[in-house]
Amino acid sequence: MSKKMNFVPDLLPKPAPKARAKEGEVGRRSFIKLLSALTAGAIAMPDKAEAFNLDEFLQKHFHQMTDEEKQKTMARLEGEYNKKYSRDDFSVADGGPQHGVKYGYALNLSKCIGCRKCTHACVDENNQHRGSEERGDQIEYIRVLEMEKGSLDVEKSVHDYTHEVPAEGKYYMPVQCHQCNDAPCVKACPVEATWQEPDGIVVVDYNWCIGCRYCAAACPYWARKFNWVAPRIPDEEVNPDTHYLGNRPRYKGVMEKCTFCITRVRKGLNPACHDICPTGSRKFGNLLDKESVVRRIIDQKRIFILKEEVGTDPSFYYFFD
Amino acid sequence: MVDYLTFVFKSIRGMFTGGTRYRSWLAFLMGLMAVGGYAYYQQTVHGLGVTGMGDQVSWGLYIANFTFLVGVAAAAVMMVIPGYLYHNKEVKGGVLLGEMVAIGAIVMCLLFVVADLGRPDRMWHMIPPFGKFNFPVSMLAWDVLVLNGYLLLNLHVPGYLLYKKYKGEEPAKWLYLPFVYLSIIWAISIHTVTAFLYTGLAGRPYWNAAILAPRFIASAFCAGPAFIILVLEIIKGWTRFPMGDRIIGFLRGVVLIAGLINVFLLISEIFTEFYADSAHVASARYLFFGLHGHNALVPWIWTSITMNVLALLALISRKFEKRGVIVRNIPLLMLIVAIWIEKGMGLVFPGFIPTPLGEIVEYMPSANEWMVSLGIWGVGLFIMTVLLKHAVDIEVGDVKPS
Ligand code: SF4
Ligand code: SF4
């Protein structure tokens, strides 16, 4: 048996960072898991929340559900999430877009110091997979690039800097989903599991995505993130205030992405990354409102669009001042 | 109807009877399938995390194999064109065999796509009217459609011809000829659409090049017929199937010409990439020379190029043609391997390296991924084997009405 395990080294579930104190026990448990998986067939799924679920299997595309079906589905999901994360306060909403609103984001590159606070606030708000230390596979929607002063070439950027910031001769460029108006990811998806909402937010139906990852190949901003394993969120860290098209917990094998914090912005709040930013580099608002802060920036500052030549017409702008 | 059922029954019986060598080959393929099945089970339980893929390189060995096999499937057309259009009798006999190879190849293509899905349980989302098929906008939706269509065409034409042959009747032209013409166009389209899958992505400069589609076709028409020649050699050596030398000679010619065009296009591509030294060059530089100390693909691509060139030189010199069965087929085997590497290591992987944000993360398939792939090859070769056996049985009269 141990020989077999060596041959297939990555089959064993990677121990979560906290559980790693008891190495031996984890090893034994995964050994039993592996055995039962081998013998008992499909019933022995590693995680009971992942077991086959007929309602989920037959669940329709978000656009094909009637309002009544949506309510039923969301109630079912709330029950499932409550059980999975041992709580009783889960809420899955489906608040729609507001009329006359189109969200836009502007980021001040002169101010950003590359502290990655936005990245982490985003993970907390949006219930991303926390990953495990040795795999380093926490899902993050925001990637902060350390750029050479005087260059806009992302290929010269450093992603995994650990030194103190801001460093001499560098500037910092956070990149997240640009909510493109001509979105390559939307065009690519073979099953319409991803689309742009009227307020500009590009969303994914996690119950419709088949996990082909064509959208990930299509996105020019590397903004689509895939659940390579069953996502893990510690019970006490989960955010129970969720949206069907946004931060509700996801499944193994589906795609996810930044939604400008759809749960928050559709309630009139700002995205979590905006509120956490200690330097005020992030400006968010309604592009259709001439008085909004983003609109004023676009109208008055020197803005630029990353990878403009790809022609995706994003709702995300960078500026210097 | 009864007639047809006996035909099916007898055919299936025929497929599984044979000498020891034949049966051990089938047993070996079933062994591969078992390995693949086990590995795929692991993948469904633990997720695609058991592969070497990640968010940086999000397609790997599966899609590489898929891309290669689309070429093999499309290549059956090389024999259809002269066989049916010019009534070249000898080639016509081989066409059936070519189409059997195509069926096996398409089944593998479809299996590789399924193996790559994160949610295979939701496959029905692609099937109208239950699902929501993003047609005609998504190139992947197109690809699924043309592949299934090609499979049906290739099942129909040889199936009908063999049934008629079994009954000893002349096939009715209108029942198969239109489909033959259609399948010629279709074969080109499966390959073109697969190329568009890549070239349509404006955010991936390495793929977003007009030369990709023609290169796809050229390399397909090189590796595909080479693969078919190997199959024909086996059938010729081990069965009583009537086959002259002309068909193999004809296919060797096709392989050579397509191979030369492929190399020419490769040189043009390298020239355009490196001479102008544009920003787009990063993926190509990574592939051919390595980038910032990352060079996992460099040995692969140069092996591929070397094998490609040596094999073509061997074919041009025609020195090996009259030699023993092993020696004369070595160049073909080399071409197949070279083009397989070119599709995977040369085309799919470097498209993701560096990422659109400039990060370099290398990819190597995991053991589990190799096992699943082997399993799928097992399934495809198994299907090819029994179908070819069936065609041979009928052709030499081992299976006939009582
Ligand atoms: S940035 Fe990527 S994921 Fe976001 S809308 Fe554009 S293509 Fe889609
Ligand atoms: S991974 Fe999901 S969202 Fe992306 S293209 Fe495939 S089905 Fe669509």
Contact yes or no for A175/A116 (Cβ under 8 A): no
Contact between A310 and B133 using a beta-carbon 8 Å cutoff: no
Share of chain A above pLDDT 70, in %: 83
Residue A51: per-residue pLDDT: 67
Q: What is the pLDDT of residue B79?
A: 73
CB contact under 8 A, A217 and B354: no
> Model pTM?
0.90
Decide: B214 and B247 in contact? Cβ < 8 Å: no
Task: Please list every residue in chain A whose beta carbon sits closer than 8 Å to the beta carbon of residue B126.
Answer: 190-191, 210
pLDDT tens digits for B37-57?
999 999 999 999 999 999 999
Mean pLDDT taken over chain A: 86
Do B351 and A7 make contact, defined as CB atoms within 8 angstroms?
Answer: no
- Is A11 a residue whose pLDDT tops 50? no
* Rounded-to-integer distance, Cα B37 and Cα B31, Å: 10
Residues of B in contact with A135 (CB under 8 A): 49
Nearest-Cα distance to chain B for A196, in Å, is: 14
pLDDT at A4 over 90: no
What is the structure's pLDDT at A149? 94
For the Cβ of A219 lying below 6 angstroms from any atom of ligand 2, the answer is no
Q: How many residue pairs bridge chain A and chain B with CB atoms within 8 Å of each other?
A: 178
Task: Return the ligand number nearest the Cα of B59.
Answer: 2
Mean pLDDT, range B255-284, rounded to an integer: 86
Residue A229 structure tokens? 């394993």
Domains, chain A, ordered by start: 1-44 (no CATH), 103-320 (3.30.70.20)
CB distance A223 to ligand 1 below 6 Å: yes
pLDDT attached to residue B280: 64
Confidence of residue A123 (pLDDT cuts 50, 70, 90): very high
What DSSP state is assigned to residue B347? I
**Structure-token match 């016509």, residue found:** B92
The phi-psi region of residue B358 (left if phi > 0; otherwise alpha if psi is between -120 and 50; otherwise beta) is left
Helix axes B298-317, B325-343, angle to 10 degrees: 140
User: Percent of chain B having pLDDT more than 70?
Assistant: 97
Interface test with B, best of A4, A11, A47 (most B CBs within 10 A): A11
Per-residue pLDDT at B395: 83
β-sheet bridge partners, residue A203: A195
Instruction: Kindly give the pairing relationship between strand A202-204 and strand A194-196.
Output: antiparallel
Which has more confidence, B111 or B221?
Answer: B111
Which ligand has the minimum distance to the alpha carbon of residue A257? Answer: 1
Q: Do B368 and A64 touch (CB under 8 A)?
A: no
Answer for the pair B39, B61: CB distance below 8 angstroms, yes or no. Answer: no
H-helix segments, B240-366: 246-275, 282-288, 298-317, 325-343
Mean pLDDT, residues B357-372 taken together:
96
Could you tell me if the CB of A142 is within 6 A of ligand 1?
no
CB atoms within 10 A of CB B319: 12
DSSP letter, residue B239: S
Res. B31: pLDDT tops 80 = yes
Percentage of chain A exceeding pLDDT 90: 79
The answer to whether residue A45 scores a pLDDT higher than 70 is no
Instruction: Please say whether the beta carbons of B62 and B117 come within 8 A.
Output: no
B199 contacts in chain A (CB < 8 Å): none
Query: Is a pLDDT exceeding 50 seen at residue A40?
Result: no
Q: Which residue has the tokens 């050229």?
A: B218
Cα(A312) to centroid of ligand 1, in Å? 8
Q: Is A189 in the pocket of ligand 2 (CB under 6 A)?
A: yes
* Interchain CB distance below 8 Å, B117 and A46: no
Cβ(B63)–Cβ(B112) below 8 Å: yes
User: For residues A65 and A62, what is the distance between their CA atoms, to the nearest angstrom?
Assistant: 6
The position carrying tokens 């085309």 is B347
Residues of B in contact with A54 (CB under 8 A): none
User: Which of B125, B281, B286 is best to mutate for the A interface (most A CBs within 10 A)?
Assistant: B125
- Whether the per-residue pLDDT at B339 is higher than 50: the answer is yes
- The secondary structure of chain A, three-state, reads CHHHHHHCHHHCCCCCCHHHHHHHHHHHHHHHHHHHHHHHHHHCCCCHHHCCCHHHHHCCCHHHCCHHHHHHHHHHHHHHHHHHCCCCCCEEECCCCCCCCCEEEEEECCCCCCCCHHHHHHHHHCCCCCCCCCCCCCCCCCEEEEEECCCCCHHHCECCCCCCCCCCCEEEEEECCCCCCCCHHHHHCCCCCEEECCCCCEEECCCCCCCCCHHHHHCCCCCCEECCCCCCCCHHHCCCEEECCCCCCCCCCCEECCCCCHHHHCCCCCCHHHHHCCCCCEEEEECCCCCCHHHHHHHHCEEECCCHHHCCCCCEEEEEC
Q: Reduced to 3 states, what is the DSSP secondary structure of residue B256?
A: helix
From the list B41, B118, B140, which residue is nearest A190 (CB)? B140
A217 and B59 within 8 Å at the Cβ level: the answer is: yes
Contacts with B352 from chain A: Cβ below 8 Å: 217
Residue of A nearest to B128 (CA): A191
Across A17-31, B22-36, B272-286, which has the greatest mean pLDDT? B22-36
Measured in Å, residue B68 CA sits from the centre of ligand 2 at 23
CA distance A191 to B135: 9
Burial (0-12, 13-18, 19+ Cβ within 10 Å), B272: middle
B109 close to B145: Cβ distance less than 8 angstroms = no
* Least confident stretch, A25-39, A256-270, B109-123, B165-179: A25-39
Contact: A217, B352; criterion CB under 8 Å: yes
Q: Which amino acid is at B122?
A: R
* Cα–Cα separations (whole angstroms), residue B241 to A190, B40, B77, B347: 44, 37, 21, 38
Which pLDDT score, from 0 to 100, does residue A134 have?
Answer: 60
pLDDT, tens digit, for every residue of B66-97?
999 998 998 877 777 777 666 777 667 777 88
Interhelix angle for B367-396 vs B212-238, to 10°?
50
Rounded Cα distance, A309 and B265, in Å:
26
Query: Considering only CB atoms, which chain A residues are within 8 Å of B356?
Result: 154, 219-222, 307
Q: Over 90: is that where the pLDDT of A102 sits?
A: yes
Nearest alpha carbon to residue A182 among A286, A305, A74, A21: A305
Ligand 1 in contact with A179 (CB < 6 A)? yes
Q: Is A77 in the pocket of ligand 1 (CB under 6 A)?
A: no
pLDDT confidence of residue B176: 86
Determine, for residues A214 and B140 on separate chains, whether the beta-carbon distance falls below 8 Å. yes
A164-223 residues touching B, CB cutoff 8 A: 175, 184, 187-193, 208-214, 216-222
Contact A290, A79 (CB under 8 A): no
Closest-CA distance, B196 to chain A, in angstroms, reads: 11
Mean pLDDT, chain B, whole residue set: 90
Which residue in B has a C-alpha nearest to residue A136's C-alpha?
B54
Report the alpha-carbon distance of residue A87 to residue A84 in Å, rounded. Answer: 8
3-state secondary structure of B294: strand
Nearest alpha carbon to residue B204 among B364, B361, B357: B357
Residues of A with CB below 8 A from B48's CB? Answer: 211, 226, 228, 253
CB B71 within 8 A of CB B191: yes
The ligand 1 atom at the shortest distance from the C-alpha of residue A257 is: 3
Which has the higher per-residue pLDDT, B307 or A12? Answer: B307
CB A216 within 8 A of CB A224: yes
Residue ranges of the domains in chain B? 2-395
Which numbered atom of ligand 2 lies nearest the CA of A194? 3
Bridge partners of residue A282, in order along the sequence: A107
Q: Is the peptide bond before B225 cis (omega within 30 degrees of 0)?
A: no
Average pLDDT over residues A87-93: 95
Closest Cβ–Cβ partner in A57, A175, A255 for B357 = A175
Question: Tokens for B151?
Answer: 């499979």
Q: Ligand 2: which residue has its CA nearest to atom 6? A: A212
Residue in A with minimal Cα distance to B54: A228
Shortest distance, CA B308 to any CA of chain A (angstroms): 29
Residue A157 distance to chain B (closest CA, Å): 7
DSSP state of B137: T
Identify the weakest region by mean pLDDT among A12-26, A272-286, B212-226, B387-401: A12-26
CA B168 to chain CA mean position, Å: 33
* Predicted confidence (pLDDT) at residue A21 exceeds the cutoff of 80: no
CA A197 vs CA A64, A106, A270, B93: distances in Å: 15, 19, 18, 56
> Which of B81, B77, B67 is CA-nearest to residue B98?
B77
Distance A202 CA to ligand 1 centre (A): 7
Q: Which residues of B touch A190 (CB under 8 A)?
A: 126, 133-134, 138, 140-141, 144
Greater confidence (B60 vs B97) lies with B60
What pLDDT digit, counting tens, does each position of B160-178 carry?
988 988 888 888 888 888 8
